[in-house]
Amino acid sequence: MSDVEANKALFLAMIDRVVAGDDWSAATQFFTDDFVAHGAGPKPTPLDGLQRLTRAWRTAFPDWRDEILDVVAEGDRVVARLRASGTHLGRLADIEPTGESCQWGMIEIIRVRDGKIAEQWGYSDFSDVMTRLRKVAARNG
Architecture of domain 3-140 in this structure: Roll (3.10)
For the cut 70, the answer to whether the pLDDT of residue 112 exceeds it is: yes
**C-alpha radius of gyration, the chain, whole number:** 16
pLDDT band at 71 (very low <50, low <70, confident <90, very high): very high
> Phi/psi of residue 58, each to 5°?
-65, -35
Domain ranges of the chain: 3-140
Mean pLDDT of the residues in the chain: 92
- For the stretch 12-22, pLDDT in tens is 999 999 988 88
pTM: 0.90
Question: Helix, strand or coil for residue 20?
Answer: helix
C-beta of residue 100 within 8 angstroms of C-beta of residue 138: no
